[in-house]
Amino acid sequence: MKRREAVQYISLLLGGTIIGTSYFLEGCKSKTGVSMAFTPDDVSYLDEIADTILPPTKTPGAKAAKVGQFMTVMVNDCYDADDQKIFHEGMGKLDDFANKTYNDSFMKLNPQQRHDLLVKLDGEQKDYMAKKKKEDPTHYFRMMKELTLLGYFTSEIGCTQARRYVETPGRFDGCVDYKKGDKAWA
Amino acid sequence: MADNTYDAIVIGSGISGGWAAKELTEKGLKTIMLERGENIEHVKDYVNATKGPWEFPHRGGRTQEMIKTHPVLKRDYPLNEMNLNWWVDEQKSPYTEIKRFDWFRGYHVGGRSLLWGRQSYRWSDLAFEANARDGIAIDWPIRYKDIEPWYTYVEKFAGISGSKEGLQQLPDSHFLPAMEMNCVEKDVSARINDHYKAKRMIIGRTANITEPLPGRTNCQYRNKCWLGCPFGAYFSTQSSTLPAAMATKNLTLRPWSIVTKILYDKDTKKATGVEVLDAETNKTYQYFAKIIFLNASTFNSTWILMNSATDIWPDGLGSSSGELGHNIMDHHLGVGASGTVDGYDDKYYYGRRANGIYVPQYRNILGDKRDYLRGFGYQGGASREGWSRNVAEMNIGGDFKDALAEPGQWTMGMGGFGEILPYHENKITLDKNKKDAWGLNVLAFDAEWKDNEKKMRVDMQNDAVEMLQAAGVKNVKGHEGDGTIGRGIHEMGTARMGSDPKTSVLNKWNQVWDAPNVFVTDGSFMVSANCVNPSLTYMAMTARAVDHAVSELKKHNL
């Protein structure tokens, strides 16, 4: 596909960073979407998954940035029917995995258990994505992780607290000193 | 009827239409500017310009609904959530692709002057002489000396930032101070220039102002240009030419005005006015004037000519040469290279510079000779990777999050813009079987690249790889996409100028040979494409044509 090319082209045109590179162009494939409804419980569940992927540190985590809600908007509006199905089924699979591993649902696990579980799942996702054939579907946890990163780092918290956002920089300095630990510009 | 009579009519309000309106009104002509789409008022209507990324529900991305309703726009970056209303409504304005042609249009006041990439480069005689030198198509009827004073004239008003380099193939403009390269670009540029013993890489020349101009604030480095600039810091109709034209009190702006034909009087052999279909009411109006400037954008200006004076010329006004609708050009792109840069972990930048580096053409000029004709330039830049980078050794969790919140590896990349030759058989025609929402026949596209462009693309990728490697960039990878014709959004040709009415549609003053009071000064007039971004040349040629038109009018020659 031309996505990579196009992303690079935008980067050139806009002179650098763009919003949501991983999502910008391939957002939706051209099939009519069948919306599957998310419940408020689903939003809480997705918030906790997101907060395990990007937890609070010195800066707020993904739950504070309302990433669960964001994921539902993106899946409803931007995913095609096949991907919506994978995502919804994936929510069940993730909980099955929790039950299998800890004999309890994900929501009942403590933060360390959640972390360990999703580390395993991320490993599985990486293996699958590396080996899969082009026409094979995306792994559901890959979807959750990508949406979490996009949703968090483009949120107000992700831009103004996790990173640094200056709406109107006023000038360009092409060469400033950088110390390890300084945040990126949003 | 008297109410509908002006000294001049300008059809279209984009980059060239805005310039025509400014120049005509400043010379005292009562002028009406007809725009087919809605009005967009400067600043007031830039509704998304100051929003944070988080204020867009899909963070700028695309929904299934957008994809369904924009079958052309979805092919590349223009389909996005942030300025969707400034791209054409494809359901209302379809077109026919005999061969695939990506046509990205903006139907509103200001046209694509609100959306353009703003890179601004002069042509040189190496480009104006290219057709004659290579025996391709026809010779340009002008040379650099004809356009040079007009480049200076428009640059002083529009505001072009850049650096003086003294390059023969890329004459210096009248510049505002250049934007700065970042540390890595400076280093890469120095190494490349040293390696090739030539000035290969310079800062981009852009219509973003680096010092204030009347009514406009200098660039604030927000990099949100295509949402409209509340500071008026880049050249657009709204920020620049429209306020100047309005200040004369000689301009009437009429949005929602689709010009369906130019009215032609076969006795005087001149145009008398235009017919307008009101896009909102579907009522038809006529407007009359001594001079008509056709600036409806490349292809749409030709569409209007094709629909005009058909009782005399079945294929339309300007078709007597057999060249109307022919010789479609664009720039081919989507090919280049990128890699990573070590050693600058303690360096960063401040501000979002809406500009990059530029590598002017060096192939097939100044002693170089390849197995294809013409050449290409590159645009690119260096930056540090953001949160979407791959962090291979990390999975999830707090350390992962904090690492992504810091800038990543420096990368440097560039992509080529290559010249497409003017092939007679690359053409648009009227599709008599398909109509738009107003019942008007649409255009059919039949154009493609050929062997010359394909050969050039091999160099475009290999040269980029070689150049970056020569500069010490690591992990250099070339890339090439399909980059369909049209994707450059630099449409040119279909009503070319020339010295002979048998082989050209316009004379050297942009006048239609068959109706000398009709001037076409958008990209339609181009005879060859060169490899530089074309808009600055449209500006200069428009100002030049208006000067000629008004002087001829005073001499009672029009």
pLDDT at B390: 75
Per-residue confidence band for A186, with pLDDT thresholds at 50, 70 and 90: very high
Do both B167 and B311 map to the same domain?
Answer: no
Residue B470 lies in a domain: yes
Contact indicator for B46, B271 with CB cutoff of 8 Å: no
Residue B145 lies in a domain: no
CA angle B30, B31, B32 (to 5 degrees): 140
Number of Cα atoms under 13 Å in the Cβ half of residue B48: 19
Residue B273 lies in a domain: yes
Do both B443 and B459 map to the same domain?
Answer: no
Per-residue confidence band for A181, with pLDDT thresholds at 50, 70 and 90: very high
Do both B380 and B326 map to the same domain?
Answer: no
Do both B356 and B410 map to the same domain?
Answer: yes
Whether B392 has its CB under 8 Å from any CB of chain A: the answer is no
Contact indicator for B245, B31 with CB cutoff of 8 Å: yes
Do both B320 and B366 map to the same domain?
Answer: no
Do both B361 and B476 map to the same domain?
Answer: yes
Residue B389 lies in a domain: yes
Yes or no, beta carbons of A174 and B185 under 8 Å apart: yes
Do both B439 and B454 map to the same domain?
Answer: no
Kindly report the CATH number assigned to the domain that includes residue B16: 3.50.50.60
Residues of A in contact with B182 (CB under 8 A): 174-175
pLDDT at B364: 98
Nearest to A15 among B68, B354, B480 (CB): B354
Percent of chain A with pLDDT over 90: 80
CA angle B95, B99, B103 (to 5 degrees): 45
Residue B130 lies in a domain: no
Rounded to the nearest integer, the mean pLDDT of chain A is 86
Nearest to A183 among B50, B351, B406 (CB): B406
Q: Which residue in chain B has the smallest CA separation from A23? A: B61
Spatial neighbors of B507 by CB under 8 A, at least 6 apart, are: B141, B497, B498, B499, B501, B513, B516
Burial class (CB in 10 A: 0-12, 13-18, 19+), B535: buried
Report the distance separating Cα B356 and Cα B182, nearest Å.
Answer: 10
Report the distance separating Cα B111 and Cα B298, nearest Å.
Answer: 12
Distance from CA of B398 to the nearest CA of A (A): 6
pLDDT at A97: 98
Nearest to B222 among A13, A162, A168 (CB): A168
Residue B287 lies in a domain: yes
Residue-level pLDDT, tens digit, chain B, 558 residues: 458 999 999 999 999 999 999 999 999 999 999 999 999 999 999 999 999 999 999 999 999 999 999 999 999 999 999 999 999 999 999 999 999 999 999 999 999 999 999 999 999 999 999 999 999 999 999 999 999 999 999 999 999 999 999 999 999 999 999 999 999 999 999 999 999 999 999 999 999 999 999 999 999 999 999 999 999 999 999 999 999 999 999 999 999 999 999 999 999 999 999 999 999 999 999 999 999 999 999 999 999 999 999 999 999 999 999 999 999 999 999 999 999 999 999 999 999 999 999 999 999 999 999 999 999 999 999 999 999 987 766 789 999 999 999 999 999 999 999 999 999 999 999 999 999 999 999 999 999 999 999 999 999 999 999 999 999 999 999 999 977 999 999 999 999 999 999 999 999 999 999 999 999 999 999 999 999 999 999 999 999 999 999 999 999 999
Do both B16 and B91 map to the same domain?
Answer: yes
Full domain range(s) for residue B42: 2-119+216-330+425-447+488-554
Residue B509 lies in a domain: yes
Asked if pLDDT for residue A29 goes beyond 70, the answer is: no
Do both B354 and B470 map to the same domain?
Answer: yes
Residue B406 lies in a domain: yes
Do both B429 and B323 map to the same domain?
Answer: yes
Do both B385 and B321 map to the same domain?
Answer: no
Do both B362 and B430 map to the same domain?
Answer: no
Contact indicator for B333, B54 with CB cutoff of 8 Å: no
Where among B480, B496, B525 does a domain terminate?
Answer: B480
Please count the structural domains in chain B.
Answer: 2
Residues of B in contact with A177 (CB under 8 A): 346-348
What is the distance, to the nearest Å, from the Cα of residue A138 to the centroid of all Cα atoms in its chain? 14
Report the distance separating Cα A59 and Cα A161, nearest Å.
Answer: 6
DSSP A85-101: HHHHHHHHHHHHHHHHH
pLDDT at A8: 42
Nearest to A19 among B59, B181, B338 (CB): B59
pLDDT at A1: 30
Distance from CA of A124 to the nearest CA of B (A): 11
